[in-house]
Chains A and B, each alone.
Chain A
Amino acid sequence: MKWIPNFNSSNSLRVIFVIAVFILLFLSSIAYKHNQDLNESSKLVMHTYEINIQLERLMSAIKDAETGQRGYIITRNGRFLAPYLYSRDKVNASFITLKKLTADNPIQQQNLENLFKLIIQRFVSFENCLKYSDPKTYDKRKLDNHMFGGRILMENIRFQVDKMNDIEKKYLENRQKIYDQEISLSPLFSVSLFLTALTFILLAYRQISRDFERLKVFNKRLLISSGLMAESEIIGKFSTWQWDLDANKIDYSDNQYRILGVAPNSFVPEKETFLDFVHPDDKEAVAVSMQGIIEKKNLPFIYYKIIRRDHEIRHFKSTGKLLTDQQGSKILLGINFDITDEHLLNIELQERNRELEKSNKELASFNHVASHDLQEPLRKIQTFISRVSDADKAVMSESAREYLSKIESSAKRMRVLIDDLLLFSRTNTTKKEFIKSNLNELLENAESDLTEIIHEKKAVITASKLPKLDVIPYQIEQLFINLIGNSLKYSQPDRIPEIIIESEKVLSASYPDLLEQSIKKYHKITFSDNGMGFDPQFKETIFVLFQRLHSKTDYPGTGIGLAICKKIVENHKGYILADSVPGKGSLFTVFLPD
């Protein structure tokens, strides 16, 4: 379906999002790693710093011991010996701490070992100094030696401590250098990655807002068209429903509820709900055709009745179609039309038609019977008059003979009138059996019917080739008889009557005001004579029943002949026209459909 926009961008949006998410994940992992590194390095600094402190403590403890000893040696006051005595414990404690701190570094352990040896030597030297400074065991040379040895040991210890501090410092520096290298690289990388991710997200946002705009436009259109649809459903008295076969979900349009006589969405439609509304007579047929849509994918119109909840019966016409949508799920679409009004109108029309037909038939049969039954007494009158023989007439009075002849001529006139009326009514009532006929043959029959008057007037009738048409043969024969008879009747007394009959095929488009345009071709048959003609102002009224242009005494006639002609031509869905130049002749034109 055209109006559903194709959102291909959703795929690219997905790609963008996935990339962005990966970048962000990457970025956060980098940040995490940096954090870890930072932590590590601060731990490392702390470690170095601690070692440093412990070494200094060791150093100061030894120095304290040295200072105490010196003070004791000089003053011989025992109080000075206290730091010396504590320093041993302090040295031990620091040593244990250092041993722990350098557990992961064998070089430092080795160095610590050496340091410890030196410190022990130094304490041995302290003991010796104390021993040789004691006045009891004083030995100036040995004291000097030991004092000097202690001095060298101190320097060695200081050297060893510095060496260890240097190693830690160097190690720290190295680590710091690597860390700095990493740290200095990552910001640029992270920023660029961040920017990329940002770009992607912006792109995605742009796409989303664009799609959103499009969606808004389509939504608006959809809203308008569904509004129109709902409105037209109400006006057109139809409704739509869709049935998603896979999800087994049925949706009714609002008007579907309305035409079922309930408020929109007043119930949840299910497969069987609709059938509940269908009239019991039609239930089976509707169920069968619903099944039929699924099998045949198409439903021709079905006609049935439904019963609304308020028991009103409505007439429905429905059709349906099976659709498969883009996702491949099958959807049944249906339209229901409420044709009750048309149905009732149709019934009424049929009823009226029947009445009309009936009254028409009655009228025709009245006409037929009336003229038919009128004939009987008239015929008797005429026959009885004819039975009055010449001998009878001879004994009658002059006036009686005249009255008799007047009765005779009146009866004759009445006979003509009744005959013509019968003929007219018959052109309406007789069965209209169309038979393919050669019009030339029918013309010959007509001429043979008129033989007497043709001979009497010495008339010349010239006919060109006429077509073969589906006609009611004796009606066309009657048409020819009436038209030719008319020309013969109104001929000029001093001129031999000439009647020319011609035929040609014409397109109805050539006579747009006259002919039925849905029929493409007509046969135009013209009857022209050299008779007395008539005033052209009467060219329409001439075909009206009982319309006469001449007095009865001049030209006996009933005014029915041309009305019959018109009737016959109309029975053949044709047209008849008359025209004339008074004194020159008349022209009758008959159009018969091909």
Chain B
Amino acid sequence: MKLFIKFDINTICSLYLKHNLDKQNINFTSLGFGEIEIADNLDADALETLKNNLSPCGFEIVENQKSVLVQKIKDAIIELVFMEDSNNYKSSVFLAEKLNHSYGYLSNVFSEVTYSSIENFIILQKIERAKQLIIINEMSLTEIAFLLNYSSVAHLSTQFKNTTGITPSAFQRIIKKRRENLK
């Protein structure tokens, strides 16, 4: 039997975060996108424990202010890409409004920290989303292109190939065979 499971990373992450914080009896309010506000100040030991508890799943407490901003940018981009009506937004405007900084500033900080551009990251995320949709195999490539705000299938295919080096159909074929191979 083969099951395709659709999951929401954000929900998983917040549940995992809540689980760990609750374990240490830390009183907190979630601000979303990996940002939490803790009612009392944590001592160094408690912070270290939290850090260690979170690390197995790749969670990291971001200390640097710029890194925090980059994380926020990333979260915002993910939100944008996963939004049903993302078509209505221009990404630069969306990010500037959402994070209360000029797009130029965000762009600079982002490339400084990640050595890549916001545009590239958006493309990466969109292609990532496209990959998920292709694997679920519920939509045609045309529908996926429309959902992800591409002007045409060709545009999506080209960007897919430029980003991953392979065509959407080859990707679908490879993943399918890889799963069969695992059985």
Complex contact A444–B153 (CB within 8 A):
yes
| Cα distance A451–B173 in the bound complex, in angstroms | 24
Q: Point out the residues of chain A lying under 8 angstroms from B157, CB to CB.
A: 441, 444-445, 448
Kindly report which residue of chain B lies nearest to residue A447, judged by CB atoms.
B154
| Cα distance A451–B158 in the bound complex, in angstroms | 9
Contact partner of B158 among A435, A448, A473, CB < 8 A? Answer: A448
Q: What number of B residues sit within 8 Å (CB to CB) of A?
A: 10
Determine whether B111 belongs to the interface, using a CB cutoff of 8 Å to chain A. Answer: no
Determine whether B169 belongs to the interface, using a CB cutoff of 8 Å to chain A. Answer: yes
| Cα distance A445–B173 in the bound complex, in angstroms | 15
Determine whether B161 belongs to the interface, using a CB cutoff of 8 Å to chain A. Answer: yes
| Cα distance A197–B173 in the bound complex, in angstroms | 99
Determine whether B167 belongs to the interface, using a CB cutoff of 8 Å to chain A. Answer: yes
Measured CB to CB, the closest approach of chain A to B77, in angstroms, equals 24
Contact partner of A448 among B161, B169, B170, B173, CB < 8 A? Answer: B161
Q: Point out the residues of chain A lying under 8 angstroms from B167, CB to CB.
A: 441, 445
Measured CB to CB, the closest approach of chain A to B123, in angstroms, equals 15
Kindly report which residue of chain B lies nearest to residue A449, judged by CB atoms.
B161
Kindly report which residue of chain A lies nearest to residue B153, judged by CB atoms.
A444
Measured CB to CB, the closest approach of chain B to A455, in angstroms, equals 12
| Cα distance A473–B174 in the bound complex, in angstroms | 14
Q: Please encode chain A, from 432 to 449, with 1 for each CB lying within 8 Å of some chain B CB and 0 for all others.
A: 000101000100110110
| Cα distance A444–B161 in the bound complex, in angstroms | 11
Kindly report which residue of chain B lies nearest to residue A473, judged by CB atoms.
B169
Q: Please encode chain A, from 444 to 462, with 1 for each CB lying within 8 Å of some chain B CB and 0 for all others.
A: 1101100100000000000
Kindly report which residue of chain A lies nearest to residue B166, judged by CB atoms.
A445
Q: Please encode chain B, from 149 to 173, with 1 for each CB lying within 8 Å of some chain A CB and 0 for all others.
A: 0000110011001100001011001
Complex contact A444–B154 (CB within 8 A):
yes
Residues of A499-549 at the interface with B, using a CB-CB cut-off of 8 Å, are none
Measured CB to CB, the closest approach of chain B to A68, in angstroms, equals 160
| Cα distance A264–B44 in the bound complex, in angstroms | 112
Q: Please encode chain A, from 413 to 448, with 1 for each CB lying within 8 Å of some chain B CB and 0 for all others.
A: 000000000000000000000010100010011011
Q: Point out the residues of chain B lying under 8 angstroms from A441, CB to CB.
A: 157, 167, 169
Q: Point out the residues of chain B lying under 8 angstroms from A445, CB to CB.
A: 157, 161, 167
Measured CB to CB, the closest approach of chain B to A404, in angstroms, equals 32
Which of A437, A444, A447 counts the most B-chain CB atoms under 10 A from its CB?
A: A444
Q: With contacts defined as CB atoms under 8 Å apart, how many contacts are there between chain A and chain B in the complex? A: 21
Q: Point out the residues of chain B lying under 8 angstroms from A437, CB to CB.
A: 169
| Cα distance A441–B141 in the bound complex, in angstroms | 10
Q: Point out the residues of chain B lying under 8 angstroms from A451, CB to CB.
A: 158
Measured CB to CB, the closest approach of chain A to B18, in angstroms, equals 44
Measured CB to CB, the closest approach of chain A to B139, in angstroms, equals 15
Measured CB to CB, the closest approach of chain B to A499, in angstroms, equals 15
| Cα distance A143–B128 in the bound complex, in angstroms | 189
Q: Please encode chain A, from 474 to 496, with 1 for each CB lying within 8 Å of some chain B CB and 0 for all others.
A: 00000000000000000000000
Q: Point out the residues of chain B lying under 8 angstroms from A473, CB to CB.
A: 169-170
| Cα distance A466–B161 in the bound complex, in angstroms | 21
Residues of B28-45 at the interface with A, using a CB-CB cut-off of 8 Å, are none
Residues of B68-113 at the interface with A, using a CB-CB cut-off of 8 Å, are none
Kindly report which residue of chain B lies nearest to residue A435, judged by CB atoms.
B173
Q: Point out the residues of chain A lying under 8 angstroms from B173, CB to CB.
A: 435
Q: Point out the residues of chain A lying under 8 angstroms from B169, CB to CB.
A: 437, 441, 473
Kindly report which residue of chain B lies nearest to residue A443, judged by CB atoms.
B154
Q: Point out the residues of chain A lying under 8 angstroms from B162, CB to CB.
A: 448
Q: Point out the residues of chain A lying under 8 angstroms from B158, CB to CB.
A: 444, 448, 451
| Cα distance A445–B156 in the bound complex, in angstroms | 11
Kindly report which residue of chain B lies nearest to residue A477, judged by CB atoms.
B167
| Cα distance A16–B91 in the bound complex, in angstroms | 117
Residues of B46-66 at the interface with A, using a CB-CB cut-off of 8 Å, are none
| Cα distance A59–B38 in the bound complex, in angstroms | 191
Measured CB to CB, the closest approach of chain A to B124, in angstroms, equals 18
Measured CB to CB, the closest approach of chain B to A369, in angstroms, equals 26
Q: Please encode chain B, from 3 to 27, with 1 for each CB lying within 8 Å of some chain A CB and 0 for all others.
A: 0000000000000000000000000
Measured CB to CB, the closest approach of chain B to A451, in angstroms, equals 7
Kindly report which residue of chain B lies nearest to residue A437, judged by CB atoms.
B169
Kindly report which residue of chain A lies nearest to residue B168, judged by CB atoms.
A441
Q: Point out the residues of chain B lying under 8 angstroms from A444, CB to CB.
A: 153-154, 157-158
Measured CB to CB, the closest approach of chain B to A445, in angstroms, equals 5
Measured CB to CB, the closest approach of chain B to A449, in angstroms, equals 8
Measured CB to CB, the closest approach of chain B to A59, in angstroms, equals 148
Q: Point out the residues of chain A lying under 8 angstroms from B161, CB to CB.
A: 445, 448
| Cα distance A445–B167 in the bound complex, in angstroms | 7
Q: Please encode chain A, from 76 to 95, with 1 for each CB lying within 8 Å of some chain B CB and 0 for all others.
A: 00000000000000000000
| Cα distance A250–B154 in the bound complex, in angstroms | 78
| Cα distance A464–B170 in the bound complex, in angstroms | 23
Measured CB to CB, the closest approach of chain A to B150, in angstroms, equals 13
Kindly report which residue of chain A lies nearest to residue B167, judged by CB atoms.
A445
| Cα distance A451–B153 in the bound complex, in angstroms | 15
Measured CB to CB, the closest approach of chain A to B159, in angstroms, equals 9
| Cα distance A241–B79 in the bound complex, in angstroms | 87
| Cα distance A435–B161 in the bound complex, in angstroms | 20
Kindly report which residue of chain A lies nearest to residue B141, judged by CB atoms.
A441
Which of A445, A451, A473 counts the most B-chain CB atoms under 10 A from its CB?
A: A445
Measured CB to CB, the closest approach of chain A to B111, in angstroms, equals 25
| Cα distance A499–B157 in the bound complex, in angstroms | 21
Measured CB to CB, the closest approach of chain A to B25, in angstroms, equals 55
| Cα distance A25–B129 in the bound complex, in angstroms | 117
Measured CB to CB, the closest approach of chain A to B46, in angstroms, equals 53
| Cα distance A451–B161 in the bound complex, in angstroms | 12
Q: List 10 A-B contacts (CB under 8 A).
A: A435-B173, A437-B169, A441-B157, A441-B169, A444-B154, A444-B157, A445-B161, A448-B154, A448-B157, A451-B158
Instruction: Kindly list the 8 A-B residue pairs having the minimum CB-CB distance in the complex, ordered from nearest.
Output: A448-B158, A445-B167, A444-B154, A448-B161, A444-B157, A441-B169, A448-B157, A445-B157
List 6 extra interface pairs beyond A437-B169, A441-B167, A444-B154, CB under 8 A.
A441-B169, A444-B158, A445-B157, A445-B161, A448-B154, A451-B158
